[in-house]
A and B are shown apart, each in its own frame.
Chain A
């Protein structure tokens, strides 16, 4: 670990930006958002972004293929990107996404390419923001090791540690940061108190019918906002686009909250009601993904409850589900 002045960090980012796209939190006058930026403008304060940086490793629309006469040519064009300032909740969400896309019978080559091309610099939070509940999920707001370099904000300086070879190499690009070691590599603190969560031992069927999903989600308008700004939501659809006489296939974000998401061509829909769909969202996050990957797919970033137009609070719902699970 070493102390590095924020000015020096900007110098390092400028150096990295010579060969990579720099993405970081920026203030657009209304909210903080992740976008392509430059080393002088990137925010270095404690605010949390409205959306997570997920679009920079799982783009909202991404070209997968171009159909030529004889071949479907895979798009391998992924720009090397530095993602600066990811919060521990977003890093833990990336851990979940990585498990979903890279583990199991199939690895996703497109996600893999983003992961290998991205350099991720995390920054610990100094305090909880309204709506945040990472601590209630057993996560450490100050630290996550699922990144290449982790920073701790101490005012004018960052405490810096690298957590991967990629991170070490990045720091070596500037003499002032080359001295950083990972000798004191930390692990995340486990917060005290009760943790919101379901045991992976619970049978899927136990919570499927015994929770009053209609009551819990009565106010949901089905807008799907929560799924777009969630750092772990990863559902998608393919869309073909004809362009200059050839067809390109894109992967686009989709949402389990939308009725057409699971609609069969026959007209049958396994998740026909809004309550069915909200149940999928909640049980997928807290139970199914946990069973399949070992991680719950909610990291308590609070974005969904901060932005829901009718105030649906997934934390309240999760707690109600836990009561039934007891």
Chain B
């Protein structure tokens, strides 16, 4: 449920910290660390999102990017793309924004206990997966999950989000594989698209769940590769984005058939999506 009685009413939040995630000239992604002015914490689970307002400019939905186990603050990762995100990118640490939520469903994290996890992300697609990654890697949860593999793609070596954290993820037992689209002189990671590279990775498909997020074309091709390799689609999950004005299933913008991405999603199992109209 929402953190205020009226789900349309946002609360004032202070920008504690801004982290520059990318350094390509044409891709500007920043992470905003926020906390509510009245001291309350935002209880959420991986997969959920908030509606983020800059009064006078507008409001947009963004997925959480931080761990649900962190109570002092929450983080939202935002690419400069349009009217509202242009404005957000001009804000400084100490400035205020307005937040309502959390909204949407969650990754059913308990269902995956005892299984191996594979995260495949393209660019900013890592942001909505990060809450689940941090949740699963946390000391209190790590033993509940088996192998944790990641294949993280970006256009160039300057575009990997949360790169400052990868060593810590590796220290907690995750295999973090990075790839970029084209070779670069100093690059030590992989080169190429995830749907090709994934074929060189080894999985125990009897106990694997995979989470894909990124450009639709990447999701489509990675899903194809995994299916070819023997992965059943009812073990593949993704999270969708849509224009969502209200976040509470009323405004009529985000529905795919009878399902509203804001309340029935944004997390969907691929088996479920296969039964839905392709209107996303």
Contacts and interface: CB of A to CB of B under 8 A. Distances in A.
Contact of A266 (B81, B255, B276): B81
Interface in A191-208: 203-205, 208
A20 to B, nearest CB: 24
B82 A70 contact: no
Chain B, interface residues (CB within 8 Å), range: 35 or more
Interface stretch (A97-105, A118-126, A173-181): A97-105
B241 interface: yes
B177 to A, nearest CB: 26
B276 A108 contact: no
B258 A204 contact: yes
A152 to B, nearest CB: 34
Interface residues of A, number: 47
Nearest to A235: B252
A262 interface: yes
Interface string A106-136: 1011100000000000000000000000000
B8 A109 contact: yes
A72 B98 contact: yes
B140 interface: no
Nearest to B11: A72
A301 to B, nearest CB: 19
A261 to B, nearest CB: 6
Nearest to A242: B56
Interface of B is mostly: loop
Contacts of B253: 235, 254, 261-262
Contacts of B37: 70
A264 interface: yes
Contacts of A108: 8, 248, 250
Given A284-B255, A288-B258, A105 B8 contact: no
Interface stretch (B25-33, B57-65, B126-134, B218-226): B57-65
Contact of A262 (B98, B242, B258): B242
A203 B275 contact: yes
A204 B277 contact: yes
Given A104-B263, A249-B55, 11 more contacts: A106-B248, A205-B275, A208-B278, A234-B250, A235-B251, A254-B245, A254-B251, A262-B242, A264-B243, A284-B255, A287-B258
Interface of A: 64-65, 67, 70-72, 74, 100-101, 104-106, 108-110, 203-205, 208-209, 234-238, 240, 242, 247, 249, 254, 256, 261-266, 270-271, 276, 280, 283-284, 287-288, 291-292
21 contacts: A65-B9, A67-B55, A71-B12, A74-B9, A105-B1, A105-B249, A106-B249, A110-B8, A203-B275, A204-B277, A235-B251, A236-B246, A237-B245, A237-B251, A238-B59, A240-B58, A256-B252, A262-B253, A265-B81, A265-B82, A292-B258
